[in-house]
Structure 1
Amino acid sequence: MSRITIPQTFNTKTADAVVIGGGIVGTATAFWLSKTGMKVILVEKRDGLSSLTTAASAECFRTQFTEKSMADIALASVEMFENFRDVVELTDIDIHLCQKGYLFVTDDQAQVRDLEKAIQTYQTLGIPGSELIKGKDLHDRFAFLAPDALAATFNNRDGWLSTHETTYGFAKGAKNVDFFMRTMVTGIQKDNQGICAVETDKGMISTRLVVNCAGPYAGTIGKMAGLDMPLKTVRRQKAFIRTSHPQVPVDAPFTVDLTNHSYWRPEAGGVLCAWVDPDEPESQPADELPTDWDFAAESIYRASRLNPFFETIAADLKADDVDVSAGMYVYTPDDKPVIGPCEEIKGFHLNCGYWCGVMMSPAAGKRVADIVTGKMNNKENPLRYSRFKEGDFEKGDTFLK
């Protein structure tokens, strides 16, 4: 039996594992640890699960990764999303899975070779269903695209879901987890055997295993344990455009313009659109993030380049039709997450460093549990933290990181 509570102050509680962070990554991690028979406590400083970075995401997932270490996690996660009721063993969960695909499109002839190379890599990695679409075929299938669009990669297994329902589905399906809301971690204690306790503003939790799933605050939690991780936090914004204009292609996939880093997808009541600014500076983690006054206009302008229907809907927009929000991506030196133990500190495990936490959360949480229980040797884990010290890493070429 699992419980989501706001605890009163307590003296000392005991857990087999403490998960720090109640986003989708932390909740999935707590779920999989509980499935091993562990008594788990998850601590989250906010009022509810899935209320910070997870809630600010575009709620998407994809299989199209060109690095094996990422593709393996992504494929396993998509399979869990597709079979979510069986995974959490609950029949009344609906995560609103929408598999309309990801479309990476370009009008730059020089990028067509990159698309061809990506398809070859997907095939080598065993990613089923990815296809290269060119010319007339592209416009026949996706008539909303501008005439200049030359080619795209597409996989109709990709898509989006409700991160709120998915996170709470993991929480409801967990076997023996206490989810402590409004509980701030203030310190991590160690002894000569490694991790021994987590200090919170409600009381002490005695444990020998801590999993850092604190999203943009993972670096802060790491320093409490004596670990200075190479993490960079970067603000990312998105805009919701409220519209019922008949030209909006409501069955369109998640569509990415590879030339200017913009993307959009249909959403109930309108569309989501954004662009990834490669020059966005690193910033400190924060719960409340400012948004740029012109972000929505810039996003619409960029998206309209290859999706000209945006020009039509923009002409009728009012200020009340536009909502801009912001969350944070977390980047490591190779733009891949860190999963598994920190060998310098016994009992301190990591599941953080994500720009793609939503789409990898199910399989990443399971990998943490598999390593903890010995089902997987961490030396065989390509996303292990020690790869940075070993020099066994390099940046990949996955689109729209």
Structure 2
Amino acid sequence: MPSNIVVVGGSVAGVQALQTLRASGYDGRLTLVGADPELPYNPTPLSKELLTGEMDEDDVRLLVDEEYEDLQVDLRLGTPAQALDLTERKVHVGPSRLAYDGLIIATGSEAVRPRGWFDLEGVHTLRSLDEARRINQAMNSGSPSVAIVGAGFIGLEIAAAARHHGLDVTVVEAAPSPLQRAVPAALAAPVVRLHRDSGVRVLCGVGVARLVGSGRVDKVELTDGTVLDADLVVVGVGARPATGWLTGSGLALDDGIVTDATLLTSAPGVYAVGDAARWTGPDGRTIRVEHWTNAREHGRRAALNLIDPQSAEPYAGVPYVWSDQFGQRFQLAGTAHAEDLYFLSGSPEDETYVALLGDGNKVVGAVGFGGHPRQFTKARRLVTAGTPWPEAIGQHQ
């Protein structure tokens, strides 16, 4: 068992790793390195309850000071890891060189920031608590016109929060439909209708040509010539793994830190978890997922594997994500991009549904929107079990 473990990244995955290590009896030295000066927090409510006022900052903290003291964690917050020396087994953090004999990298992902857009005030991404503060302040200062660039989960959640404040909101999405990375257009259709019925202007199939303003953003010019008034612009056009500090380290990188099925990287004693990891799934393909549940489960599995590598188990979790918008919940387990589709209840035309997705052999995904929470839970179990498609359908016909 290692005697000196360093966790890099004050993320959900990183904090879960800390808790799992101590709960499993690890009594060695434990250090947490985080670029954010804040005590680690749950990012999920930042685009929802924190913006609407249903939660405050205390509610989003993963742990409070006393809990870190109980875990006997040496907190190194506010300075990012800058390099990794695999030969010396040290993490470079500012002027310090932190030695380790076990390392878990949980640095997460960072927002894609189109070049030139952020030269103007009033333009934001939402990946951190400080960014959420700034957006919340802007939403509560007068009645700004809001433009959301990108109709993924975060973009749509921010749009719903802006409407909660009674603001004029336009969502711009270059793809033909919102949530295109997550689900086919037909399954996203009721989400779009919900937004439009709630007063959000949703524009798809058009991109942003440029942002206009003198010092501060004033307008958004689209590629079709449309010009939108915008005092506040939030950009949610994707994320990339926060792995720049590992360039030249010797770790295998490929849109994330490459790991085997146990989350072990190409270096002994070094594990990668959460948004930053590209791990080998049960089917032998590599996968990188940016979901809260995946990060939490990664942190636990990597911690257990690190302190007992002889009994290391592969991570076999099924990706799961949920999104609350205008009082309705959208849920996805597994993948929705599959050849077979069967509705257990409802349909996109009914505004509420639970659907199963299959790959011709077994259930690989479940999507739910609106009601039927128990039925979605059952559907998720079918995905987790890899239930044969004929058997799953036969149970519900």
Question: TM exceeds 0.5?
Answer: no
TM-score, normalised to structure 2, is 0.41
Give the structure, 1 or 2, with the largest relative contact order (CA under 8 Å, sep 6 or more). Answer: 1
TM-score, normalised to structure 1, is 0.40
Q: Which structure dedicates a bigger proportion of its chain to strand? A: 2
